[in-house]
Amino acid sequence: MKKNYTSLFKIRNIVLTVFSLFIFNIIIGQNSNLIQVSESDFETGQLNRKSEKGSVVLSRSNNVEKNNNQRFFEIANAKVPTMYVDKGNVRKVSEGNKPIKLKSNDLQLNSLLNSKNEMFESVELIIVKLNQQSDLNKSINVSKLTEFKKLKYIFVKCNFECSSSQIQQVILNTNQDIIVYYIVTKQS
């Protein structure tokens, strides 16, 4: 009888361990769509190396990942219809009224991004700049960007040394469909 309890106890421990690892992977996976890029990546238009450990989604196939990266670089580098935002206000929209890209020089975006605007529906890429350390105290809650029906990418340009964990604190509640890219640049 004692052997049965011992083996049941071992089985229970194994099941709890496996379940805990499963839950841990789900929690970690929520922010796993974070990829650091370099300036040379932009020169070539592709990722030239592996990203930081744990920052690339492991569940995506290599072809899907490659296509997403290519599309990101196409939009980020191309002259496409763009909405320019400064201090939370739309300054201009280039080349028509269906922007593919939204560019902001700061993170004063929440009131604008959470508002209704039919121009947001076509945006696939949001680009924001972090200009100083204090910008790390601001955030964008992606789950509230309901007007951005085609949003696939968020690109954060950090003009000072910043880490992936700091970017995860700025870009909140991403889902599996949105990839966050970031770059660390030095302002001269």
Domain boundaries, given as residue ranges, for the chain: 31-184
Q: How far apart are the C-alpha atoms of 61 and 107, rounded to whole Å?
A: 32
Q: What are all long-range contacts of 23-28, with beta carbons under 8 Å and residues at least 24 apart? A: 28/54
Mean pLDDT of each 10-residue bin along the chain, 188 residues long: 62 56 42 79 67 40 70 88 88 84 85 83 94 91 89 94 93 89 82
Angle at 134 between CA 144 and CA 174, to 5 degrees: 25
Q: How far apart are CA 159 and CA 111, in angstroms?
A: 24
Q: Which pLDDT does position 21 carry in this prediction?
A: 41
Q: What's the one-letter identity of residue 30?
A: Q
pLDDT at 102: 93
Q: What is the per-residue pLDDT for 18?
A: 47
The predicted structure's pLDDT at residue 9 = 63
